[in-house]
C-alpha cells in the first residue's frame, strides 16, 4: 500500500525525545560511573517487571505515532491521490478493530446489542428484540450458542501464539548476548533477568489471547456509537504517554537553565528567577490551565481556517496542553535545582575551576550540570504518573485534550453518565480505569526503583 508520511507536531517531538534518549544511552554506556545506578535499576526485581509492562505501553504508543496518509487512488496523470485521513501504523495493525463498528452499546463478548430495537421479522411483523451484532461473535450461529467454549478455545490459541512470539524473542536476544537460557529463566544470573523474562511471558500470553479474541468479539464491549472499547483504550495509550513525557521534555530546558543559574549566580539573577517562579506557583495550577486552555479555545475557534485537518487541530491542542502543564510544573524542579546549585557552587572543584579562570558558562555545563542530572532524572520519572492522572481529570472538566482525541479522560467523561442507566454500562469506565491504573502503577513502582538507585542520600542509608 502506498502512503505519504505525516509528521504531526507531537510526532516530531516524540522523535526528538527518542534521539535524546538514544544519545543518553550512547553516552551512558561509555561511562562506567553513569552505568552503575542503571545496573541497580535492572538489578531490582520490581524494576525488571515494571520495565516490561512499560515496554508494552511504549511499543503501542510508538506504533501509534508513525502517522501517514493512505493512498486512495490514482488521478488522470497517473499521480497517486492520498487521503486526507491520517492513519497510524497501529491503526493498520489493529485493522478490523478500527473498522468493525456496531450500532451502539454492546457488552464485552456480547453477541447481541445492549438495547432492544424494533426489527422487522421475516413475516413482516415488528418485534422488539435485542438485535444480533454485526461483527461481535459473527462466526457463531444465530443464537450465539457455544460461546463460552469458543472463547476458551480462541483464548488458548491466542495465548499459545503469544508464548511462541515470546520464545522467538528470547531466542533472538539469546543470539545477541544473554548467555544460556536455562540459567536466565532459573534466575542463576547476577541480575534478576528471569523476573523480566517471566513477566514478559505472562504479558505476551495475556496480550496474545486478548488480541486473538478481539478479532472475533468486542472483548471490552462497544461504546455509544458502537466503537470498540478495546481499540479506544489502546489508542489512548499514546495520549497518556505523550502527556507524561512531552510535558517534561518541554519544561526541562527552562527549569534546568533557570534553576542552576539562580543557584550559581545568586544576586539579582536569583531574585528575578525566584520572583518568576513564585508568581507562577502562586496561581493554583488548575486555574492557570483553565485560563490558558479557554484562551486557546477562543483562538482556535476564531482562527479555524489555519488548521488543515481535525487531526492536526487535535494534535496542536494536545501539544498546547503539554506546554501549559509544563509551565505549571517546572517550578518544583527549578527550586530543587537552585538549592543544589547553591550547594555545588561552594564546593572545591567549582571554586578551583573559577580560580583557574574558567568562564561561567563552561563551569555551569561541565561542573554543575552533570552533578544535578540525577535530580532531573528522578523528577522526570516521578512526575510521569501524576501527569497521566492529571490528563483524565482535566479532560473531565473539559480543559483537557480535544474531544476528538482518544484519551482515557475522554472515555471516562463519555461513559460516566451511563452509570445511571439500568442495567449499567460499566465497561468503558472499567477499561479506561484499568489501562490507566496499570500504566500509572508500573510508572510509580519504576520511579521508586529509579529514585532508590540514583538518590545518593538514600544510598547512604543502606
Partner 1 sequence: MSAYIIRRLLYAIPILIGVNALTFVLFFVVNSPDDMARMHLGGKRVTDQAIEAWKEDHGYNKPLLFNEAAAGTAALTDTILYEKSIKLFLFEFGQSDSGRDISEDISQRMWPSLAIAVPTLLVGLAINITFALLLAFFRATYLDFWGVVICVAMMSISSLFYIIGGQFLVGKLLNLVPISGYDTGLHAWKFMILPVIVGVIGGIGSGTRWYRTLFLEEIHRDYVRSARAKGLSEHWVLFRHVLRNALIPILTGVVVVLPLLFIGSLLVESFFGIPGLGSYTIDAINNQDFAIVRAMVFLGAVLYIIGLLLTDISYTIADPRVRLD
128 forms bridges with which residues in the sheet?
Answer: 118
The nearer residue to partner 1, 270 or 448, going by C-beta atoms, is 448
Q: Give the three-state DSSP class for 425.
A: coil
Please tell me whether residue 401 binds partner 1 under the rule CB under 8 A. Answer: no
What is the nearest approach in angstroms of partner 1 to the Cβ of residue 282? 4
Q: Which of residues 169-228 bind partner 1 (CB under 8 A)?
A: none
What is the nearest approach in angstroms of partner 1 to the Cβ of residue 436? 6
Q: Give the three-state DSSP class for 86.
A: coil
Q: Which of residues 404-423 bind partner 1 (CB under 8 A)?
A: 412, 416, 419
E-assigned strand segments in 98-137:
117-120, 126-129
Stretch that binds partner 1, among 159-167, 191-199, 248-256, 434-442 (CB under 8 A): 434-442
Say whether the peptide bond before residue 79 is cis (omega within 30 degrees of 0): no
Q: Is 357 left (phi over 0), alpha (psi -120 to 50) or beta?
A: left
Grid coordinates belonging to 289: 490551565
The nearer residue to partner 1, 5 or 423, going by C-beta atoms, is 423
Residues 269-308, one symbol each (x = binds partner 1 by CB under 8 A, - = not), give ------x--xxxxxxx-xxx-xxx-xx-xxx-xx------
CA separation for the pair 66, 23 (Å, rounded): 21
Please tell me whether residue 444 binds partner 1 under the rule CB under 8 A. Answer: yes
The nearer residue to partner 1, 253 or 284, going by C-beta atoms, is 284
Taking CB under 8 A as the criterion, the residue among 51, 436, 450, 453 binding partner 1 is 436
Residues 237-276, one symbol each (x = binds partner 1 by CB under 8 A, - = not), give --------------------------------------x-
Q: Are 348 and 273 within 8 A, CB to CB?
A: no
Q: Are 82 and 69 within 8 A, CB to CB?
A: yes
CA separation for the pair 413, 418 (Å, rounded): 10
Stretch that binds partner 1, among 54-62, 104-112, 163-171, 396-404 (CB under 8 A): 396-404
Give the closest residue to 103 by CA, choosing from 250, 223, 12: 223
How many residues touch partner 1 (CB under 8 A)? 43
β-strand 80-82 against 67-74: which pairing, if any? antiparallel
276 Cβ contact partners less than 8 Å away, ≥ 6 residues apart: 258
Grid coordinates belonging to 318: 494536545
CA separation for the pair 279, 277 (Å, rounded): 5
CA separation for the pair 317, 363 (Å, rounded): 39
Taking CB under 8 A as the criterion, the residue among 41, 229, 337, 445 binding partner 1 is 445
What one-character-per-residue DSSP string does 248-301 give?
Answer: HHHHHHHHHHHHHHHHHH-HHHHHHHHHHHHHHHHS-HHHHHHHHHHHHHHHHH
Cell 502543564 locates to 325
Stretch that binds partner 1, among 32-40, 76-84, 365-373, 439-447 (CB under 8 A): 439-447
What is the nearest approach in angstroms of partner 1 to the Cβ of residue 183? 29
The nearer residue to partner 1, 261 or 392, going by C-beta atoms, is 392
Please tell me whether residue 54 binds partner 1 under the rule CB under 8 A. Answer: no
CA separation for the pair 443, 240 (Å, rounded): 12
What is the nearest approach in angstroms of partner 1 to the Cβ of residue 253? 21
What is the nearest approach in angstroms of partner 1 to the Cβ of residue 268? 14
The nearer residue to partner 1, 79 or 462, going by C-beta atoms, is 462
Q: Which of residues 97-136 bind partner 1 (CB under 8 A)?
A: none
Please tell me whether residue 146 binds partner 1 under the rule CB under 8 A. Answer: no
List contacts with partner 1 (CB under 8 A): 275, 278-284, 286-288, 290-292, 294-295, 297-299, 301-302, 385, 389, 392-393, 396-399, 412, 416, 419, 424, 429, 433, 436-437, 440-441, 444-445, 448, 461
Amino acid at each position: 500500500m502506498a502512503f505519504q508520511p505525516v509528521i504531526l507536531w507531537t510526532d516530531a517531538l516524540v522523535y526528538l525525545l527518542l534521539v535524546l534518549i538514544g544519545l543518553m544511552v550512547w553516552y551512558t554506556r561509555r561511562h562506567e560511573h553513569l552505568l552503575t545506578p542503571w545496573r541497580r535499576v535492572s538489578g531490582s526485581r520490581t524494576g525488571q517487571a515494571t520495565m516490561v509492562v512499560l515496554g508494552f505501553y511504549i511499543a503501542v504508543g510508538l506504533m501509534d505515532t508513525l502517522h501517514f496518509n493512505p493512498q486512495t487512488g490514482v488521478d488522470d496523470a497517473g499521480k497517486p491521490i492520498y487521503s486526507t485521513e491520517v492513519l497510524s501504523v497501529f491503526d493498520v495493525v489493529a485493522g478490523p478493530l478500527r473498522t468493525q463498528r456496531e450500532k451502539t452499546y454492546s457488552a464485552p463478548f456480547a453477541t447481541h446489542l445492549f438495547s432492544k430495537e424494533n426489527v422487522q421479522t421475516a413475516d413482516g411483523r415488528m418485534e422488539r428484540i435485542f438485535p444480533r451484532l454485526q461483527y461481535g461473535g459473527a462466526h457463531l450461529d444465530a443464537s450465539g450458542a457455544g460461546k463460552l467454549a469458543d472463547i476458551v478455545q480462541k483464548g488458548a490459541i491466542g495465548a499459545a501464539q503469544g508464548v511462541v512470539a515470546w520464545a522467538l524473542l528470547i531466542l533472538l536476544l539469546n543470539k545477541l548476548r544473554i548467555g544460556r537460557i536455562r540459567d536466565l529463566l532459573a534466575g542463576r544470573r547476577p541480575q534478576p533477568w528471569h523476573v523480566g523474562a517471566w513477566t514478559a511471558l505472562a504479558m505476551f500470553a495475556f496480550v496474545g489471547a486478548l488480541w486473538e479474541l478481539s478479532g472475533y468479539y468486542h472483548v471490552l464491549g462497544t461504546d455509544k456509537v458502537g466503537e470498540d472499547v478495546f481499540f479506544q483504550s489502546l489508542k489512548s495509550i499514546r495520549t497518556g504517554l505523550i502527556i507524561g513525557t512531552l510535558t517534561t521534555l518541554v519544561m526541562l530546558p527552562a527549569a534546568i537553565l533557570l534553576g542552576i543559574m539562580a543557584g550559581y549566580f545568586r544576586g539579582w539573577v536569583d531574585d528575578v528567577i525566584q520572583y518568576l517562579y513564585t508568581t507562577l506557583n502562586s496561581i493554583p495550577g488548575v486555574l492557570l490551565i483553565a485560563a490558558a486552555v479557554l484562551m486557546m479555545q477562543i483562538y482556535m475557534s476564531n482562527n479555524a481556517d489555519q488548521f488543515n485537518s481535525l487531526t492536526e487541530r487535535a494534535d496542536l491542542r494536545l501539544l498546547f496542553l503539554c506546554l501549559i502543564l509544563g509551565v505549571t510544573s517546572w517550578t518544583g524542579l527549578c527550586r530543587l535545582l537552585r538549592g543544589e546549585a547553591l550547594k555545588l557552587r561552594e564546593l572545591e572543584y567549582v571554586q578551583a575551576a573559577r580560580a583557574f579562570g574558567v568562564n561561567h558558562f563552561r563551569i555551569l555545563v561541565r561542573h554543575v550540570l552533570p552533578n544535578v542530572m540525577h535530580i532531573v532524572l528522578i523528577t522526570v520519572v516521578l512526575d510521569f504518573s501524576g501527569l497521566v492522572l492529571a490528563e483524565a481529570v482535566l479532560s473531565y472538566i473539559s480543559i483537557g485534550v480535544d474531544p476528538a482525541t482518544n484519551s482515557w479522560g475522554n472515555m471516562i467523561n463519555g461513559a460516566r453518565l451511563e452509570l445511571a442507566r439500568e442495567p449499567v454500562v460499566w465497561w468503558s469506565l472499567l477499561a479506561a480505569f484499568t489501562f490507566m491504573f496499570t500504566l500509572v502503577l508500573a510508572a510509580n513502582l519504576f520511579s521508586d526503583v529509579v529514585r532508590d538507585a540514583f538518590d545518593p542520600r538514600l544510598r547512604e542509608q543502606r
